[in-house]
Amino acid sequence: MSDATLHATDQNPDDFAVQIADQIESFLVAVTEVAKGDEPDSAVPFLLLEVSQLMLAGGRLGAHEDIVPDERYEPDPGPELDVDEIRENLARILDPIDIYSEVFDPYEPRKAPVPARISDDLTDVITDLRHGMVHYKAGRTTEALWWWQFSYFSNWGSTASATLRALQSVVAHVRLNQPLEELDGLDTDQELGDETLESEAGRVMVREIAGPLGLRPVK
């Protein structure tokens, strides 16, 4: 399957692999477009929609039986595409809500929240998804599905779900007209407990982010 036949009309739109690939391709294209910065005012709600739709594909992969690749060893997909420009553009567009706090594993007791960046998370997800897309476009459909399923469990599923929670929280703060705490001065290589997060957090009123992010609070 070449690039030209990724969405060929003779493909069955009801086929599981085609549907998953289409959802992933849609996410990759959409986030890349957001990162160009042409419409920064709508970035947050648009990313909320795209990540939500991607999580549907992830849920379907997670609920599917284990996918076994055709070959014992993964074929070399070639060099990974650079995502630094996308990461930097997203960080600029999403400032000041790029950094958020995350509990890495909700089933590990007494784990302190750690700072994370939406821009880092999205590009991390993009890297995983692109890796599988290379296999898919080369006609290695089973290999692509195996990789997407495996990496959903091991990385991009939890990363995307944390990002979704952060984006949903931003929208909720604005729509409910509630103050939003900014993790001002935090660095993502720090492991911080609740008290540190609270002491470091600066106050950013909803009215300061609603306009630039294309959101409007409920009156």
Q: Can you spell out the DSSP letters for 63-127? A: HSPPP--SSSSPPP--SPPP-HHHHHHHHHHHTTSSEEEE-S-TTSTTPPPEEEEHHHHHHHHHH
pLDDT above 60 for 76: yes
Q: Which residue has the higher pLDDT, 40 or 128?
A: 128
Where residue 49 falls among pLDDT bands split at 50, 70, 90? very high
Question: Within 13 Å of residue 51, how many CA atoms lie on the same side as its CB?
Answer: 28
Q: Residue 155: what pLDDT?
A: 94
96: cis peptide before it, omega within 30°? yes
- pTM score of the predicted model: 0.76
pLDDT 10s digits, 84-125: 999 999 999 998 889 988 877 777 777 777 889 999 999 999
Q: What are the two backbone dihedrals, phi and then psi, of residue 88, each rounded to the nearest 5 degrees?
A: -65, -40
